């Protein structure tokens, strides 16, 4: 067939071989010139190692321009590849740091998404979960009622940028690729973590509107975290009923404390057995609390709660959001479930035409990147949480 490949004759590559030999001769001459320039001190020695193993795009392009044939820049990278590769690499490193940073708040917060920035409602429904009535023969079907509670909130965008000098991007020893994305990823994770803490705690301790005696979720006398107090809180959480007086069925819970209470909390949940504190003692019993409660350390509690020592003593017990109605909901803007990184398009063009992305800003030669995340949240059901200031 006419469009099939055919076998080439032995002599048909003569022209190609002649061109390749000529290119090789030019490369050899350029290499000789480079070595001579290095030996005479006209150019620094590191150009020789860069020519043998290109690592820095800017220097590689300079070598390719002054010593043609040694490095084929077009085969390895284009003029704009370096900044694009840099941005791509930074984004991957930033996301790796975001994912690696502790996000323990996910253990007690319901997570969703929002399509846009408009304020929307989180709807909590009650009803149709009660005990069914008996239906006598030939009687009408009985219909249950649904009630709803709406919690309104919107998402907001949070962002931070970095301006990188041309020198910074070319100097490997400054570890720009390691520090900048790490910082942005860690900063994005911290932004969300602190926001969550600010929902259920304030400067005085547990959010006073959400945790109150009227809501029945602020423990009387704000007991210090002990095995007995935790047992009371867990019992109160397990005894919660919905609007139809039906049990909410909290099967597991999450204990949240600040760093100041961590040792105490770990001792309580880490013990395999406990000795009742009643007068005269009593039989040693298994520590059943450790099977139904998991521990989360929130480092932002003492930062958000600044009144006295409450930030170090307050503690919270949340129903596991996967098995009960969540006390808190956090929603990310759709497409921003993870932070995103962006790069500013350069405004520098070569005289011969074409954007020189690696040259960044025309005046300063700097390049700019930014990291953006978008989320919002709200407190939802007060019946799914119990708190104490821990002041006794």
What is the C-alpha separation between 68 and 301, in angstroms, rounded? Answer: 62
Band (pLDDT 50/70/90 cuts) for residue 16 is very low
Integer Cα distance of 142 and 148 in angstroms: 20
Amino acid 212: pLDDT: 95
**Three-class SS string for the chain?**
CCCCCCCCCHHHHHHHHHHHHHHHHHHHHHHHHHHHHHHCCCCCCHHHHHHHCCCCHHHHHHHHHHCCCCCCHHHHCCCCHHHHHHHHHHHHHHHHHHHHCCCHHHHCCEEEEECCCCCEEEEEEECCCCCCCCCCCCCCCCCCCCEEEEEEECCEEEEEEEEECHHHHHCHHHCHHHHHHHHHHHHHHHHHHHHHHHHHEECCEECCCCCCCCCCCECCCCCCCCHHHHHHHHHHHHCCECCCCCECCCCCEEEEECHHHHHHHHHHHHCCEECCCCCCCCCCEECCHHHHEEEEECCCHHHHCCCCCHHHHCEEEEECCCCCCCCEEEEEECCCCCCEEEECCCCCECCCCCECHHHCCCCCCCEEEEEEEEEEEEECCHHHEEEECCCC
Residue 191: how many CB atoms within 10 A of its CB?
A: 16
Q: Which of 65-74, 128-137, 140-149, 336-345 has the highest mean pLDDT?
A: 336-345
Cβ proximity of 386 and 237 under 8 Å: yes
* pLDDT score of 385: 95
Reference 34, options 44, 24, 20; nearest CA is: 44
In this prediction, residue 391 carries a pLDDT of 93
Least confident of 103-112, 152-161, 208-217, 320-329: 320-329
Confidence of residue 278 (pLDDT cuts 50, 70, 90): very low
Average pLDDT estimate for 138-157: 76
pLDDT range class, residue 33, cuts 50, 70, 90? confident
| Confidence tier at 120 by pLDDT (50, 70, 90) | confident
Strands 367-379 and 156-164: antiparallel
Compute the distance between CA of residue 157 and CA of residue 376 in angstroms, rounded to an integer: 9
Alpha-carbon distance of 101 to 165, in angstroms, equals: 28
Q: Rounded to 5 degrees, what are φ and ψ at 146?
A: -110, 135
pLDDT band at 172 (very low <50, low <70, confident <90, very high): low
> Between 57-66 and 81-100, two packed helices, what is the crossing angle to 10 degrees?
160
Most confident of 37-41, 216-220, 279-283: 216-220
Compute the distance between CA of residue 200 and CA of residue 301 in angstroms, rounded to an integer: 10
On average, the pLDDT of the chain sits at 81
Section 369-389 average pLDDT: 94
pLDDT of 148 > 80? The answer is no
pLDDT at 147: 59
pLDDT band at 248 (very low <50, low <70, confident <90, very high): confident
Whether residue 296 has pLDDT greater than 90: yes
In this prediction, residue 32 carries a pLDDT of: 77
The encoded tokens of residue 262 equal 């961590």
What is residue 136's predicted lDDT score, i.e. its pLDDT? 84
- Which range among 71-85, 100-114, 167-181 has the greatest average pLDDT? 100-114
pLDDT band at 73 (very low <50, low <70, confident <90, very high): very low
> Is residue 19 predicted with pLDDT exceeding 50?
yes
Sorted by where each begins, the domain ranges of the chain are 10-76, 79-392
Nearest CA to 390 among 293, 299, 289, 317? 317
Structure tokens at 209: 């509107």
Determine the Cα–Cα distance for residues 153 and 136; give it in Å rounded to an integer: 46
Higher-confidence position of 150 and 382: 382
- Answer whether residue 230 shows pLDDT above 50: yes
171 neighbors 86 (Cβ within 8 angstroms): no
- Structure tokens of 153? 């909130």
**pTM tops 0.75, yes or no:** no
Of 25 and 84, the structure prediction assigns the larger pLDDT to 25
Residue 218, CA distances (Å) to 14, 211, 230, 238, 315 in order: 90, 5, 13, 15, 11
**Confidence band (pLDDT; 50, 70, 90) for 79?**
very low
β-pair partners for 157: 374
Residue where the block lists tokens 């590191």 = 46
User: What is 79-392's CATH topology?
Assistant: phage-related protein like fold (3.90.1690)
- Cα 123 to Cα 149: distance, rounded to the nearest angstrom: 6
Checking if the pLDDT of 84 tops 70, the result is no
State residue 310's pLDDT score: 95
77 has pLDDT over 70? no
């Amino acid at each position: 067939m006419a469009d099939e490949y055919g076998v080439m004759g032995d002599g048909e590559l003569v022209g190609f071989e002649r061109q390749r030999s000529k290119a090789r001769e030019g490369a050899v001459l350029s290499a000789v010139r480079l070595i001579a320039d290095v030996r005479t001190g006209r150019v620094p020695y590191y150009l020789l190692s860069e020519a043998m193993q290109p690592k820095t795009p800017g220097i590689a392009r300079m070598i390719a321009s002054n010593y043609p044939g040694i490095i084929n820049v077009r085969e390895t990278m284009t003029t704009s590849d370096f900044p694009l590769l840099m941005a791509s690499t930074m984004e991957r490193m930033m996301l790796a740091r975001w994912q690696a940073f502790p996000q323990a708040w996910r253990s007690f917060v319901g997570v969703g998404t929002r399509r846009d920035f408009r304020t929307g409602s989180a709807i909590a429904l009650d009803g149709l979960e009660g005990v069914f009535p008996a239906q006598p023969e030939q009687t009408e079907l009985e219909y249950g009622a649904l009630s709803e509670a709406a919690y309104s909130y919107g998402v907001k965008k949070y962002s931070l940028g970095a301006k990188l000098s041309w020198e910074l991007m070319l100097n490997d020893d400054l570890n720009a690729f390691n520090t900048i994305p790490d910082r942005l990823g860690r900063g994005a994770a911290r932004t969300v973590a602190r926001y969550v803490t600010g929902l259920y705690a304030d400067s005085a301790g547990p959010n006073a509107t959400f945790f109150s005696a009227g809501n029945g979720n602020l423990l009387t006398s704000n007991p210090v975290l002990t095995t007995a107090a935790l047992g009371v809180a867990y019992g109160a959480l397990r005894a919660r009923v919905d609007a139809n007086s039906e049990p909410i069925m909290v099967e597991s819970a999450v204990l949240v404390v600040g760093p100041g209470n961590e040792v105490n909390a770990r001792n309580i949940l880490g013990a395999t057995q406990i000795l009742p504190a009643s007068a005269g003692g009593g039989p040693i019993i298994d520590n059943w609390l450790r099977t139904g409660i998991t521990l989360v350390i929130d480092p932002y509690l003492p930062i958000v709660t600044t009144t006295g020592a409450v930030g170090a003593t307050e503690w919270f017990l949340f129903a596991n959001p996967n098995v009960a109605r969540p006390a808190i909901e956090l929603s990310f803007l759709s497409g921003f479930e993870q932070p995103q990184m962006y790069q500013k398009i350069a405004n520098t063009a070569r005289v011969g035409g074409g954007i020189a992305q690696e040259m960044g800003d025309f005046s300063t030669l700097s390049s700019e990147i930014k990291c953006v995340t978008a989320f919002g949240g709200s407190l939802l059901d007060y019946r799914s949480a119990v708190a104490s200031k821990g002041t006794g």
